[in-house]
Structure 1
Amino acid sequence: MEFATTLLIAVGLAMDAFAVAISGGATVREDRARYALIVGALFGGFQAGMPVLGWLGGASLASSIGVYDHWIAFLLLALIGGKMIVEAVRGDGDGVQFAGGSMATFLVLAIATSIDALAVGVTFAVLDTPILWPAVTIGAVTFVLSAAGVLIGSAFGRVSGRKVEILGGVILIALGLRILLDHIIF
C-alpha cells in the first residue's frame, strides 16, 4: 500500500480523536502541554493498536464486532457527551474533563475513538498488507492531531467557559451519531 494512501487513512481515523481532544482540551487551564502529551499518547497508542488487533484477528473478528462497533462507539460518545452537557447546564460539576479527569475517562475516550481502526486492521489483513508501518503511521498522525486538539481546545475554552463544555458534549454526541449513521446508511 502506498504511503499517501496510508497517510489519508491515518488522517481519516484521527479526525474523531482530534475532535474529542478539542472538546476535552476546552476544560484544560493549566499544564496544557502535559495533557496534550497524555491525550496524544493514549489516543495515538489506541489508534495504532486497534489496527494491529484487527489484523491479527482477521475477518472472523470483524464479523462479530463489525456488527456492533458503531453502536458501541455511539453509546460511549453519547453517554460522555450527554454527561458533559448536563453538568455544564446544571453547573453542578465540571463536566467530563481532561484536567483532573480520571484515567478511566481517558481510556474510554481512547477506545471509543479507535474502534473504527479495528476494522481498518482487518482490511489490511484481507489485503495481505503488512501492518507495522500503517499502524505506526496511524498512531503518529493521531498523536500529533490529538495533542494539537488539546492545545486548540484549551485556548478556545479560556474564552467561553461553560458554553464550550456544552459544545464539547454536542460534538461528542454528533461524532457518535455520525459513526452510527455511517454504518447504518452506508
Structure 2
Amino acid sequence: MSPTSIAILAIGMSVDALIAAVGRGAGLGRARLAEALRTGLVFGAVETITPMIGWAAGVAANRYVAAVDHWIAVGLLALVGGRMIANAFGAPNAEEARSDRSMFTLLATAIGTSIDAMVVGVSLAFLDVNIVLVALTIGLATFLMSTCGMIAGRLIGPGLGRIAEIAGGLALIGLGGSILLSHLLA
C-alpha cells in the first residue's frame, strides 16, 4: 500500500471522529484545549486499536477466502464509504448533538465512530500492508482531526461536517476501486 493510499485511508477513517468532535465542540460552546486534547487522545487511541483487531480477524480467515480477498476488500470499503455518504444526508439527531463531558460518553462515542475502522482492518488483512504503520497513521490522523474538530466545532458547525463525511466516503470507495483495479491488472 502506497503512502498516498495510507494517507487517504487514514483521513477517510478519521472523518467520523472529526464530525463527532465538531458536534461535541459545538455543544460545549468554547472548547478548552485540555478538553480538545483529551477527546483527540481517546478518539486516536481507539481508532489505532480497532483496525488491528479487524486485521487480526481477517488474517485468521484469510486462508479460507484468499481467492476472493480483493472483492471482500472492495466490498467492505464500498460499504463503509456508502454508509458515510448516507449518514451525511441523514437528519442530525438531537441527542447526538447534545454534549456530555463524561469519560464514558467520550469512550462510547470513540468506539461507535471506530467500528468502520475495524471493518477496514478486516479488508487490510487481505492486502500486503504493514498494519502497525497503517493503524498508527489512522490513529494520528484521528487525534489531529478530532482535536482540531473540537476547537473548531463552534465555528464551522454541522454543515462542513457533512461535506467532510461525503468526501471521506468517496475517498474510501475510490480506494476500494483502486485496490480492485490494481488486483485485476496484476
Q: TM-score, normalised by structure 1?
A: 0.65
**Aligned sequence identity (%):** 33
Aligned residue runs from structure 1 range 24-63, under 5 A: 24-29=24-29, 32-58=32-58, 60=61
Q: Which stretches of structure 1, 4 residues or more, deviate above 4 A after TM superposition?
A: none
Name the structure where helix makes up a greater proportion of residues.
2
SS in 2 for 1:140: helix
Uncovered stretches (5+) of structure 2, i.e. residues with no partner = 63-71, 85-91, 173-186
Supply the distance in 2 between the matched residues of 1:31 and 1:8 (Cα, whole angstroms). 28
Give, in angstroms, the shift of residue 31 of structure 1: 5.5
Supply the distance in 2 between the matched residues of 1:105 and 1:83 (Cα, whole angstroms). 15
TM-superposition CA deviations, 1:87-132 (whole Å, max 9, x none): xxxxxxxx631xx521121111101111110111112211142211
Uncovered stretches (5+) of structure 1, i.e. residues with no partner = 74-80, 86-94, 158-163
Does the CA contact (< 8 Å) of 2:31 and 2:150 recur in 1? no
Does the CA contact (< 8 Å) of 1:43 and 1:143 recur in 2? yes
CA-based RMSD: 3.9
Q: TM-score, normalised by structure 2?
A: 0.65
- Match of residue 95, structure 2, among 81, 84, 91: 84
Q: Report the number of matched residues.
A: 154
> What letter matches 1:114 in structure 2?
S
Supply the distance in 1 between the matched residues of 2:15 and 2:144 (Cα, whole angstroms). 11
Supply the distance in 2 between the matched residues of 1:143 and 1:108 (Cα, whole angstroms). 16
Who is 2:127 aligned against? 127
Give, in angstroms, the shift of residue 151 of structure 1: 0.4
